[in-house]
Chains A and B, each alone.
Chain A
Amino acid sequence: MIGHELIVWSDSLITGVTEMDEQHRILVNSINEANTRLAEHVNAEILDQITRDLLSYALYHFETEEALMQSYNYSEASLADSDLHMKQHREFSATVVAVREGIKAGRLMSREDLLSFLNNWLINHILNTDIRLAAHILVCRAATT
């Protein structure tokens, strides 16, 4: 389990699709920043801002990825992967929304829970799911050039 360590950006996290990698890097930075900020104290304001940033990230990043899926006909190539990928996106958004609902009702997610969710999601998603999409895209791109 990835604890409270900051995520070190490494080659293992690079998918090879520049747009995706740039945004992943931003996400890693954001998670690290959240880690730092939550280390000082956990309160509704900080969680609100972090989750808001995550929502923002989800919007543009998922849009980027899903737009790529569409343009590279990912669902036609691998429906199951495409569906799983999008399902993971939706789940991420739903989780973040749920965390925000909790904040609103006074139930603050602990730093450990939030960080472990984010770290797990990020690592799992990038290493397992995004890698597949990236592979598909890279294949497509290689084919067209």
Chain B
Amino acid sequence: MVSKNGMNLNFFHRYSLKTRVTLFTLTIFVSGIWSLAFYVNHLLHVDMQRQLGEQQFATVSILATELDHELQDRLQALEDVAERITPEMLGNSILLQDFLEQRPFFRGQFNGGILVLNPDGAIIADSIHEAGVEISPTDSGAALALKTGKSAIGKPRLLRNHPEFDMAVPILDEQGNIAGTLSGVINLNQPNFLEKITGHRYGTTGGYLLVAPQYRLVVTATDKQHIMQALPAAGINPAIDRNIAGFEGYTILTNPLGVEELASIKKIPVANWYLAAVLPASEAFAPIHAQLINMLAATLLLTLLAGSLTWWMLRRELSPMLSAITTLANLSETNQYPPPLPVTRNNEIGDLISGFNRILETLWQRECALKESETRFRHFFEHNSSVMLLIEPASGEIINANDAAASYYGYPLARLIGMLTSDLNISAPEYLARERMLALSEERNYFIFRHRLASGEIRDVEVHSTPITHDGQTLLFSIVHDITARKQAEQEAAALIQRNKILMDNAIDGIHILDEQGNLIEANHAFYRMLDYTPEQARHLNITDWEAKLTPDELSATILHLLSSHAVFETVNRRRDGSIIDVEASAVGIELDGKRCIYVASRDITERKKAENEIKHLAFYDPLTGLANRRLMTDRMEQALLHARRYSELVVVCMIDLDGFKHVNDQMGHKAGDQLLIEVASRLQECLRQSDTASRFGGDEFAIILGGFKKISECEQLLDRIIISLAVPYAVMGEIAHVTASIGATIFPNDGGTADLLLRHADQAMYEAKQAGKNCYRLFNPSHQNQQQANQATLKRIEKALSDGQITLYYQPQVDCRLGKVIGSEALIRWNHPILGLLSPSEFIPLLEHDDLIITVGEWVIRSALSQLTEWRSKGIALPVSINISARQLHQSNFTERLNELLKEYDSEIINLLEIEILETAALEDINVVAESIRKCSTLGIRVSIDDFGTGFSSLAHLKHLRVDALKIDQSFVLGMLHNPEDLAIVSGVIALASSFRHKVIAEGVESIDQILMLLELGCDTIQGYSISRPMPAERIPSWLASFNPDPLWKLSYSHRPTRDYFELLLAETNHRHWIAQLIESLGDPLETNISERLDVRVCRLSHWYYGEGYRQFSAESWFRSIEPLHLLIHQTATSLCEHRRAGDESAAEADQAALTLQQDEFDSLLGSLRETMAKQYLIDSTAIAK
């Protein structure tokens, strides 16, 4: 970011773009060019070294070859001369000397002289007259030639300060023996042939060296000081060591003086020497160095040039931007609208500057707007008529205030500015500080305060306070409104409301206001109290919630009417608890908040209405007894008849006349008579139900209407109760009065007359009752009367039969077929009728059921059974006996007391053998009483079972409630179970139920072994019925018991496998029989899919048995195979029957049906006999196993 004056315009500023670009460019350029220069230089250096080396080596090779030739020529010359030397010459040194003197050319070839030595090494002749010179015997050429017999070149040596070496050849005698040597000496200090080479320099400072490597000696060199110089010892200079070892070629080496030289080596084979040309590196590579310096100079020049150009270029291109930067830097120091920056370039920089121009323009506009806004605010603030303050939030100091504020508070403006808000506000400063923070954080911007003016007056103010930024400072901008007047007005309004509320709430009437829809808008306490609501509960009430008289339609019509009128009316309201009150209301339509409403004042007038009703009551009720009078009675009767017609119920109209009332009236006075009548009325009311009506017609004449009956017997019971109730003596004025009632009744609709006619008939019947001896009732219906008489006659006959001993008990044994044991018996009543013969209980007991005679008979049964048990005991027989107790007897209130009475004479051993059976239907009549009776029987030690179970729709709850010992399955289900699946379902259901409740279960009316086996299979073991034994007189029991033998077939039930098969077949057979029966029955409905589905022999249950378990067990038996054809034939016939029926071919269908019935009968008997066979087979098998 560029600070106002922080822009560093120094060009060489290290961060300047120009500097950095220049330096960067130069760095890349210089490093490139310098790398290139050094690389080129290196290449040149290597190349030049190679060229110089090769050149030098070529030179030295030529010279070396030349030297080799020179040396060989001299050795050849020596050999030529040596051949000419004769032995005479050897013995005569003068001769020899002459010989040598005659060969000057030869002598000229060896500047050190020529010597001839004898084999002893002594000089024989010497060309330079220096005979007697001793020659080193070991390494001189002469010595070597003597020793080897071959020509040799000797080791250079210093002799008499001459550096020299000799070359020698042997002198052979005629026999070829070495007769001496001829050697030529080369003096190296004297001009000699070697100087042709070594006398020249190589280059300016370089030269040649002739080296005898075998002696590590420099033979001669261009620089004479090197002659005879020894080379450094081996290992000191590896380059020299390499040369000595035989290297040829050029190389760079450092000589023993430490000078770097370029040297080339070539061998001289004849002497085993080598020739070296050396050139100091400084001279050899001088051109390369010169070139390098030139290159560096050029590079440096280029570098400087590039730097300058880059710098110049950047400076030129960036100059508009720099000037823009300078302009911008100066811009913030001026408030003038800046001139647009010059756009001199049409490139990115030009674009950038154009961008800057646009930004500058926007910024300028914004600044202008801000300034304008500030000006406006100032104007708004200063000239506003509202009181305005600018407050410093932390201290509460007033930073600024307007004239309106000054005049409102009564302080000069100058003084007001600088005051603290706490100087104005009467609240505590800490509180104000907190409130200011709320305003600052914009959590709240509305405050109610009380401010003190300069005059000391306190005003209520409303302050709106928001944070604003002013000169970079956050201040609270507060507008202050004086609300003192408003507040006062509010308080006055509240007081008015309060006064109105007091008026409303203390009003006695329930005042409320409803809107057009009947919604409750407003109400007073009296209204809520009246309807028992709290104001909260009543919040969303509608008039329909309490109006109980008008229907919703009527109600909306009434509301509509009242909106524009007024009315006073009575209605009925429903309180919250549902109770009803009578209400008087006055209502008027009003307008409230622009909406039409109804103002209602209502008042609870229940008490008043009650008083009014009491007056009305007198018109319809008997003032003495409070019962209905004749007028109301007739009215009610009409209603009851109407109701009975609609619901097909019976209505009984009765006339009651008191027997002996006149006597009471005469003897005890009218007052007593009146009291008795009141008592009669109350007893009547007690007997009646809510819906019944009792009335007094005057005197001792009463009438009652009983409705809602379905059975005449029910109303007969009620009439009996009334007779009994009214016959109970009356305590009247401290004395006892006896009256009874004679009742005449007629039953609607059997007697289908008008109300008057019914009353007349009832009256007629009442006279009949009087005639019949009073204290009884008579029904009007003559046919019913006949029947009644017949029934009464029958009862008398039975009563007589009982006393004549015609009634007797038969006993039917009960056997546990699983155990094969007799476990009890049921005592069954028989009427040994003198004319009609032996009658079963079902023929005459039903006639007693509604008479107390049944109780007499029942008690007789108990007594007989007990005495029979005692008699059997004397014979050692302890056979439990169960007796049947009728509903009427069971429901007697003193049933258990009576039972106890009867049991009194017997000990527990006998009592424990007694069991009681009660009908399920009887048990259900009054479950609680029966449950209690059963409980008492249990405590007496008498077991109780439920008879005919399945006929009474017991619920499981009932069964749980009754603590019985056993359930007896009704015989009708047992009888039907092999034919009717529903019966079978009931039987198995009862068994399962008994098992669930841990009750025993007994099947009665069992007539066949199939039934026994089925029952055993289903889990019922105790069987009673003809299949065991018919009921028999008590005297036959001992002999029957003695001869009792369990049927072996019963065992089938608990031998393992066979029973299953037998049972499966029995079940399949039962099923099949039922299916055929159903098929025939349901042919009216051919779409009965369930049945037609089973036409397919494959899904038949019998097939399932036959081809499954049956086949596995019996396929080998011939009888088994006879089942299949008949079975298939039945299915075929059944299918044909269905098809014919479907096709509408009735005659064919009938033929099929007849055939099917025959086939099924045949099938039944076949399967029956097969099962018999099967059973016998099992018996034989099991006997065999037992044995």
Contact = CB atoms under 8 A, between A and B. Distances in A.
A40 B797 contact: no
Contacts of B790: 26, 53, 56-57, 60
A105 B783 CA distance: 30
Nearest to B846: A52
B1158 interface: no
B794 A97 contact: no
A41 B970 contact: no
A37 B92 CA distance: 205
B736 interface: no
A19 interface: no
Interface residues of A, number: 33
Contact of B797 (A45, A60, A89): A60
A67 B835 contact: yes
Which of A55, A57, A58, A105 counts the most chain B CB atoms within 10 A? A105
Interface string A98-120: 00111011110000000000000
Contacts of A51: 846
Contacts of B842: 97, 100-101
Interface string A35-50: 0000011000100110
B794 A53 contact: no
Given A104-B948, A105-B972, A55 B847 contact: yes
Contact of B783 (A29, A49, A62, A66): A29
A83 interface: no
Nearest to A51: B846
Which of A33, A57, A97, A106 counts the most chain B CB atoms within 10 A? A106
Given A101-B972, A106-B951, A59 B844 contact: yes
Given A56-B794, A60-B794, A104-B948, A29 B786 contact: yes
Interface string A60-76: 10110011001000000
A63 B835 contact: yes
Contacts of A89: 836
Contacts of A56: 787, 790-791, 794, 847
Given A45-B711, A49-B713, A59 B836 contact: yes
Given A40-B648, A55-B843, A104 B972 contact: yes
A140 to B, nearest CB: 18
Nearest to B920: A104
A15 interface: no
A34 to B, nearest CB: 11
A82 interface: no
Interface in B751-806: 783, 786-787, 790-791, 793-794, 797
B833 interface: yes
Contacts of A26: 786-787, 790
Contacts of A97: 840, 842-843
Contacts of A53: 787, 790-791
A30 interface: yes
Which of B787, B948, B950 counts the most chain A CB atoms within 10 A? B787
Contacts of B381: none
A26 to B, nearest CB: 6
A63 B836 contact: yes
B710 interface: yes
B748 interface: no
Which of B712, B836, B951, B970 counts the most chain A CB atoms within 10 A? B836
B810 interface: no
Which of A52, A59, A70, A93 counts the most chain B CB atoms within 10 A? A59
A10 to B, nearest CB: 18
B973 interface: yes
Contact of A59 (B648, B794, B971): B794
A101 B403 CA distance: 115
Contacts of B833: 63
A58 B797 CA distance: 13
Nearest to B972: A105
Given A45-B711, A59-B836, A106-B951, A93 B794 contact: no
Contacts of B921: 104
Nearest to A25: B786
Contact of A102 (B783, B835, B846, B972): B972
Nearest to A43: B710
Contacts, number: 76
Contacts of A67: 835
Contacts of A93: 843
A70 B835 contact: yes
A67 B950 CA distance: 40
A125 to B, nearest CB: 16
A60 to B, nearest CB: 6
A60 B921 CA distance: 28
Nearest to A105: B972
B846 A45 contact: no
Contacts of B783: 29-30, 33
Contacts of B971: 101
A70 B793 CA distance: 21
Nearest to B710: A45
Which of A51, A63, A102 counts the most chain B CB atoms within 10 A? A63
Contacts of A59: 794, 797, 836, 843-844, 847
Contacts of B835: 63, 66-67, 70
A131 B787 CA distance: 24
A49 B712 CA distance: 10
B223 to A, nearest CB: 158
Interface string B919-958: 0010000000000000000000000000010110000000
Interface in B810-857: 833, 835-836, 840, 842-844, 846-847, 849
Contacts of A105: 950-951, 970, 972-973
A29 B842 CA distance: 24
Contacts of A33: 783
A75 B972 CA distance: 36
A114 to B, nearest CB: 16
A66 B846 contact: no
Contacts of B648: 40-41
Contacts of B849: 52
Nearest to A106: B951
A101 to B, nearest CB: 6
B170 to A, nearest CB: 169
Contacts of A55: 843-844, 846-847
A48 B224 CA distance: 175
Contacts of A48: 846
B972 A30 contact: no
Interface string B476-512: 0000000000000000000000000000000000000
Nearest to B831: A59
Contacts of B847: 52, 55-56, 59
Nearest to A62: B836
A99 B951 CA distance: 14
Contacts of B973: 105
B787 A30 contact: yes
Contacts of B836: 59, 62-63, 66, 89
Nearest to B791: A56
B985 to A, nearest CB: 13
A97 B921 CA distance: 18
A113 to B, nearest CB: 16
Contacts of B948: 104
A104 B970 contact: yes
A89 B836 CA distance: 9
Interface in B227-269: none
A53 B793 CA distance: 12
Contacts of B786: 26, 29
11 contacts: A26-B787, A45-B710, A55-B843, A56-B787, A59-B844, A59-B847, A60-B797, A62-B836, A63-B797, A66-B836, A101-B972
Given A41-B648, A59-B797, A101-B971, 8 more contacts: A49-B711, A55-B844, A56-B790, A66-B835, A67-B835, A97-B843, A100-B842, A101-B972
Closest 10 CB pairs of A and B: A105-B972, A97-B842, A66-B835, A52-B846, A104-B951, A56-B794, A29-B783, A56-B847, A67-B835, A45-B711
